[in-house]
Chain A
Amino acid sequence: MRNKNGFSNLYLVLVFAVLYAPIFYLMYYSFNSGGTMHEFEGFTLDYYREVIQDTRLIIIVINTLVIALLSSAIATLIAIVGALAIQRTRSRRAKNSLLSLNNVLIVSPDVIIGASFLILFTIVGIKLGFVSVLLSHVAFSVPIAVLMILPHLQDMSPTLTDAAHDLGASRRDVLTKVILPIIKPGIFSGFFMALTYSLDDFAVTFFVTGNGYSTLSVEIYSRARQGVSLSINALSTMIFLFTILLVVGYYFLTRRKHRPRIAEPVAELGVPR
């Protein structure tokens, strides 16, 4: 291993370079006054001004954030219930089938989720737009939040709830005073994962947005299909910086909250949307 160190470092550097090149490429040309993604002519902030003054875009950003926050909150609530339901199931067989059902939406391709939800909403008679997008974001965020909460629930010692019961706590008290505080880190990471899933989703949203309602991903897609526009670059730079802030914030938050004991299942589950 010793003499090969130079080569292996080079390989890693190369991988990182390729991973980040497109992102920095976008950022670099967001300042190009030439208006193209080649031949840098001069420095300008025009495209940033354009993004900030684009009221339609700002409404879309607000839409995206509202959907993300609202859907993650609702999904997390349902997921707490779901995790409890799975935990409570005694029969191993029933538990496994519940878990499999839970994971269906995680492993399903987005096109299928999108298409089937489109059928569902049309049949039920829900107008495509805010409600349909919100519902589908809740729907696909629930299973991931369940998977974040469940390990915490399983790690919890059953003697704690027994003790609470023995001391005369009602079921409600056991839930709110014992169980919820213990699984709080899981709830937070579940909410946060749901948030990132929702912010990042394109394929499902694309199917269930009607005319006139749009989220950021859908908007970027339709703009990108029309060709290169540097306002997308400016927008992506802003999103990138915002993302970094979010990640760093989350990193420090979780490092303080709980020891990095539970390997986050994100890696295995993070099917890109």
Chain B
Amino acid sequence: MKNKGRSYYLIPYYLWIALFVIAPVLLIIYYSLFDLDGHLTIDNYVNFFTPVYLKMTLNSFWYAFLITAFSLLIAYPAAYLLTRTKHKQLWLLLIILPTWINLLLKTYAFIGIFGKFGPVNNFFDLLGLGEQQILFTGFSFVFVSVYIFIPFMILPIYSALEELNLSLLDAARDLGASGWTTFRRVIVPLTISGVRSGCMAVFIPALSLFMITRLIAGSQVITLGTAIEQHFLVTQDWGMGSTVAVFLIAIMALFMIVTGGSRKGVQK
């Protein structure tokens, strides 16, 4: 039953791969070699290694790291507690539901909440802290991003915890492990794959966000995502935009190799 040339119907899928998976990547690389006037050059790459772009890349990384770390910090206990509830399916659905609401609408809500006269500032007033500038700061950017990404961190960790064999916990207890030791030596290693896919689902988009940045952080935070958007849609410098994109792709690939590489050690 080898493909006997009767597989014409498979063509659309291969066409899709060629046109929308392979071609776009090649085009990005190709365009990164041209400057604004259409001359072949490596200036864009030289430019990327100037302090402006390096600082931006570092910045982008730092924010993505913060967002991932805080998401993990909040999501792990939440996922753990979720597995202990009755009606798990219902609670899980309630976690998923907000992800179906348009991301921009949720972001927009924070313009009101963090605004000058919003509830958070009212609360600060009540505490006697006075009015604070919350919108258009790094803090608001991280907060809103964590808010947006939390469900995507909870879900994979939840499914990893669900697969956890409960008798292993009993065994740990029988062998005299304390709650903390059990957590550190048994639960965490066995759920690390969930943590890993959660981090991936958060870190990569966090590197390339541009709408939350624009709406919530103003010009305070510039990430690789905002830079690409800026170059493509505002300054029309596709060459430089593509160069940033090439680096983003490279970083992403590296990140996936690093996080995916050590998988063998912990799998059941």
User: B-contacting residues of A (Cβ < 8 Å)?
Assistant: 1, 8-9, 11-12, 15-16, 18-23, 25-26, 29, 36-39, 77-79, 81-82, 84-85, 88, 98, 101-102, 104-105, 107-120, 123, 139, 142, 171, 196, 199-200, 202-203, 206-207, 216-217, 220-221, 224-225, 227-228, 232, 236, 239-240, 243-244, 246-247, 251, 260, 263, 266-273
Q: Does B111 count as interface, using CB distance less than 8 angstroms? A: yes
Q: Does B20 count as interface, using CB distance less than 8 angstroms? A: yes
In the complex, what residues of B have CB within 8 A of residue A118's CB?
Answer: 232
Q: Are B197 and A268 in contact (CB under 8 A)?
A: yes
User: How many A-B pairs with Cβ below 8 Å?
Assistant: 242
Q: Are B205 and A272 in contact (CB under 8 A)?
A: yes
Given known contacts A11-B81, A109-B207, A115 and B102 CB-to-CB distance under 8 angstroms: no
Q: Are B24 and A29 in contact (CB under 8 A)?
A: no
Q: Are B81 and A8 in contact (CB under 8 A)?
A: yes
Across the interface, name the chain A residue whose C-beta is closest to B197: A268
Q: Does B68 count as interface, using CB distance less than 8 angstroms? A: no
Closest-CB distance, A23 to chain B (whole angstroms): 6
Q: Are A112 and B27 in contact (CB under 8 A)?
A: no
Number of residues from B at the complex interface, CB < 8 A: 90
Q: Are A1 and B84 in contact (CB under 8 A)?
A: yes
Q: Are A116 and B205 in contact (CB under 8 A)?
A: no
Bound CA–CA A260/B93 (angstroms) = 13
Q: Would you give 21 A-B contacts (Cβ < 8 Å), ordered by A?
A: A19-B147, A19-B151, A22-B110, A82-B13, A105-B20, A107-B252, A108-B252, A109-B208, A109-B248, A142-B16, A200-B100, A220-B105, A224-B107, A236-B108, A246-B100, A267-B158, A268-B159, A270-B99, A270-B151, A270-B155, A272-B103
Closest-CB distance, B140 to chain A (whole angstroms): 13
Given known contacts A78-B13, A112-B28, A224-B111, A243 and B101 CB-to-CB distance under 8 angstroms: yes
Q: Does B35 count as interface, using CB distance less than 8 angstroms? A: no
Q: Are A109 and B28 in contact (CB under 8 A)?
A: no
Across the interface, name the chain A residue whose C-beta is closest to B116: A38
Bound CA–CA A209/B205 (angstroms) = 21
User: Which residues of B221-251 have CB atoms within 8 Å of chain A's CB atoms?
Assistant: 224-225, 228-229, 232-233, 238, 241-242, 245, 248-249
Across the interface, name the chain B residue whose C-beta is closest to A251: B93
Q: Does B152 count as interface, using CB distance less than 8 angstroms? A: yes
Given known contacts A111-B245, A243-B101, A25 and B22 CB-to-CB distance under 8 angstroms: no
